[in-house]
Amino acid sequence: PQAIRLADYAPPNWLVNEVQLTFRLAPRATRVLSRIRFRPNPEAGGRAFFLHGEHLKLIRASVDGAEISPRLVDGGLEADVPDAPFTWEAEVEIDPEANTALEGLYLSNGMYCTQCEAEGFRRITFYPDRPDVMAPFTVRIEGPEPVLLSNGNPTASGAGWAEWTDPWPKPAYLFALVAGDLVALEDSFTTMSGREVTLKLWVRPGDEHKTEFAMEALKKSMRWDEEVYGREYDLDIFQIVAVSDFNMGAMENKGLNIFNTSAVLASPDTSTDANFERIEAIVAHEYFHNWTGNRITCRDWFQLSLKEGLTVFRDQSFTADMRPGGVSRIEDVMALRGRQFREDNGPLAHQVQPDSFVEINNFYTATIYEKGAEVIRMLKTLVGDAAYRDALDLYFARHDGEACTIDDWLKVFEDATGRDLAQFRLWYKQAGTPRLDVTEDWDGANYTLTFRQHMPATPGQNEKKPMVIPIATGLLGPNGDEVVPTTVLEMTEAEQSFTFEGLAARPVPSILRGFSAPVILNRETSPEERAFLLAHDTDPFNKWEAGRALAKDVLIAMITGEEPPLAAYLGALAAMLRDEGQSPAFRALALRLPGEDDIAQTLFDANVTPDPARIHDAAETLRQEVAEHLQDMLPRLAAECVVAEPFAPTGEQAGQRALALEVLKLTTRLDGGKAAAAMFESAGNMTLSLGALGCLLDAEKGEDALAAFAAKWQGDALVMDKWFMMQVVHAAPEKAAATAEALTAHPAFNMKNPNRFRAVFGALAMNAAGFHHASGKGYDLLADWIIRLDPLNPQIAARMSSAFETWKRYDADRQAQIRAALERIKASENLSRDTGEMVGRILA
């Protein structure tokens, strides 16, 4: 398959004034009638007429009422058309029931739904399926289903049909249709200009009790976008539909968001605090797309981060406002490091704005999303809050209704602030994670920090230029007082020094506060200094980071056979836990050890070949040490984090439960699971129930709890996903692959359901020591199932293959095993473009 290149972008030959669609729904043979008014694009280089179309049966087509016979070509059709505005009409037949790829129109549990981003609309009808073609849509749906939905406002309906009109021009990827037996939670929202908007959250009968939380999240999001960005909603109705078979988390279709059930349905009985937090963030994310994505969309898919990076940044800011205390930033960074840094350090590294792709579905990545958000966060840090808001106002004013580029976005910032962003643009164009080395100098009065930046080569990019790096830094005095408050040092050179003058004593620096840039900071320092920062830093992120760095020092030393700074770490941890000025949520995060994958990457960076088994053993040993050292404190901590009030999914309560579970993990190492068994019995919510189950599984005493859990929850697919996932995540390394394999034989395993497939195989990839077990069974099993899934759902199969992206870190045996697994996938018959591209890039 041919790569598509940004450099080859050309404007569309034809633009669309208006789209009218009629759907005659039938599971095996849905008819789609389209009436599209085209006009020549004055900016185009030609008049050739091509429409995308895949898996469509063309019944008839006409131009200005005259039947024509278009030429069916690869990926669509061509036709001879007038050199003037004209009306295209076509009728096609599609088969929603056979659509296991879950792109275009498909059936999920008897309910029709759509997913059109990025290129799914071409599976619905022939159309210029590219985001720079925007048009208003009118949609008529005919079918026996009681509920018939599409984008925009409802304009007419009768027995067996409904019509929807979306007045806002949109690209086809934002089209949506839903039809089925659904019930709605209904509410309303009054916008800042006083307009009343109807809100509906549609679910399958039986799920009504799981809708309230998402509805509240939606209303908070609508208010927040008005207050913080001045953005008002623009239709009479906003709807969300929950769908159980869905490739992504959710989709921001105009006025009709479609959500994976896992990203919207919540109740205390069935959802963990982490689920609640994620749901709140995704509801916000999709809602925020209404302005950053829909009203202003992307010119082409190379601009994907224009909407995703910005919208992730917006949802992260929203979460930080809803759940104050600095913990959400720590969680964002943990996710960034866990997924994006990992991606950046392997064969799948790519730019925030790529130059080329084969299959765009493969670029819905942590780099486009999370690094894209970091880039916008840096931009805001560099220009300041007020200028950021001015720039956003200008962005909305200048580009509303347009399909834009990342360069348009940067130009807005240049015009609003007068800043030259040529160097900043490298953040979009250079792949990889910058390394930032720092040294310090103290002359008795002046303190100098010298930074050196360098970026490792990434595929196709060997030479890198220095980047602009905002380094938020504060200085602490020897007694722990802040002597220099947070200052943003703006680094632009390969090597650069910054001096703080006239200090009374040598300070302790707190560098990269709030994780002000997505870089790897290397700073040789003593365990005592890390402990000092954990105790005294005023910046919650760096406070946590100090503890994490100390834990990493301990683990790395244990693995490489040096003397680990264990006493310093344990002492600092105990002091931190005693510090009641710290929120339970913070203390819970500070108790967690760095992930095993993170340790593997750190070793690899230090030219040590990581051994996953050894890393796992070191982590286990350290956890045991921690448990024993903190033994006397654990009962008091456990008592402290009992939530007395009725369950509420608030940040405060979530923090208490998180700390309770960290304490329970440690306690389980000392009592063999007694406290966990009691917690499992008495837990009144899913957070504690699942946490206790995890502890029991770790102690290899989970059999009864697993059976009880399954008996209780067998009718709830989302909870059963957790049941599948927990067993694999908590399996001992030598049992992980066998556990996953056994679960695929469970009657409730269904490979066609993305959530269930991920519950088993996403979990296998997460169990680092299990997946990388020396037997190679993890690799073989995953390869088998990717090969099996690929013909059914290429998007999920391709995504799952990224579990192999770290393979070059490992020893020759593991590399050979992974290579063989990848070669086997590559050689399988009719491999999809999606998986073919991924495997090719990983092997390259």
For the annotated catalytic residues, the residue numbers are 286
Find which of ligand DPP, Zn ion, none residue 790 binds, CB within 5 to 8 Å per kind. Answer: none
Quick one: 147 or 250, whose CB is closer to ligand DPP? 250
Using the 8-state DSSP alphabet, how is residue 13 labeled? S
DSSP assignment of 222-262, as one string? HHHHHHHH-----SSEEEEEEESS-SSSEE--TTEEEEEGG
Closer CB to ligand DPP, 163 or 374, in the complex: 374
Q: How far apart are CB 649 and Zn ion at their closest, in Å?
A: 23
Q: What is the DSSP string of 317-358?
A: HHHHHHSTTTHHHHHHHHHIIIIIIHHHTSTT---SS-SEES
How many Å is the maximal CA-CA distance in the chain?
88
Residue (36 or 310) nearer to Zn ion, CB: 310
Site for Zn ion in 495-524 (CB under 5 A): none
Distances in Å between the alpha carbon of 256 and those of 107, 202, 354, 819?
A: 17, 10, 29, 43
Nearer to ligand DPP, 118 or 576 (CB): 118
**Binding-site partner at residue 306 among Zn ion, ligand DPP, none, CB < 5 to 8 Å by type:** none
Q: Which lies closer to ligand DPP via its Cβ, residue 312 or residue 468? A: 312
* 530 interface partner picked from ligand DPP, Zn ion, none, CB below 5 to 8 A per type: none
Cis peptide before 101 (omega within 30 of 0): no
Q: Taking CB under 5 A as the rule, which mask of x and - marks residues 289-308 in contact with Zn ion?
A: -------------------x
Please state the closest distance from residue 311 (CB atom) to Zn ion, in A.
5
Please choose which of ligand DPP, Zn ion, none residue 248 contacts, taking the beta carbon within 5 to 8 angstroms, the exact cut-off set by kind.
ligand DPP
User: From the CB of residue 213, how many other CB atoms can be counted at a distance below 10 Å?
Assistant: 20
Considering only CA atoms, which of 844, 786, 784 is closest in space to residue 3? Answer: 844
Residue 27 is encoded by which pair of tokens?
A: 């599971």
141 close to 124: Cβ distance less than 8 angstroms: no
Give alpha helix (H) positions in 44-110: none
In the sheet with 71-73, reading across from the earlier edge strand, the strands are 49-52, 76-79, 71-73
Give Cα 747 distance to the centre of its chain.
Answer: 30
C-beta closer to ligand DPP: residue 279 or 551: 279
- Per-residue DSSP letters for 488-535? EEEE-SSEEEEEE---SS--EEEESGGG-SS-EEE----HHHHHHHHH
* Smallest distance, Zn ion to C-beta of residue 281, A: 11
Residue 250 binds which one of Zn ion, ligand DPP, none, with CB within 5 to 8 A depending on kind?
ligand DPP
Contact criterion met (CB below 8 Å) for 662 and 594: no
Cα separation of 674 and 657, whole Å?
18
Query: Which x/- pattern over 783-812 shows residues binding Zn ion (rule: CB under 5 A)?
Result: ------------------------------
Q: Closest Cα to residue 377, out of 325, 324, 315, 423? A: 315
Chain centre distance of CA 597: 18
Placement of tokens 């990434």 in the chain: 458
Pick 251 or 550: Cβ nearer ligand DPP: 251
Toward ligand DPP, which CB reaches closer, 289 or 548?
Answer: 289
Q: Which does 251 bind (CB under 5 to 8 A by kind): ligand DPP, Zn ion, none?
A: ligand DPP
Q: Closest approach of Cβ 90 to ligand DPP, in Å?
A: 27
For the bound state, the minimum distance from the C-beta of residue 298 to Zn ion, rounded and expressed in Å, comes to 11
Residue pointed to by tokens 């009641």: 580
Pick between residue 469 and residue 796 the one whose CB is nearest to ligand DPP.
796
Helices (H) and strands (E) in the chain, counts: 29, 31
Minimum CB–partner distance for residue 57 and ligand DPP (Å): 27
Q: How far is the CB of 834 from ligand DPP (least distance, A)?
A: 15
- For the bound state, the minimum distance from the C-beta of residue 304 to Zn ion, rounded and expressed in Å, comes to 9
Place of tokens 């070949």: 609
Nearest approach, Cβ of 294 to ligand DPP (angstroms)? 10
Tell me which residues in 311-340 interact with Zn ion (CB under 5 A): 311
Judge whether 677 and 700 are in contact, CB under 8 Å: no
Contact positions vs ligand DPP (CB under 6 A): 117, 248, 250-252, 285-286, 308, 364
Contacts of 186 (CB under 8 A, 6+ apart): 198, 199, 200
523, 482 contact by CB (below 8 A): no
Binding-site ranges for Zn ion (CB under 5 A): 308, 311
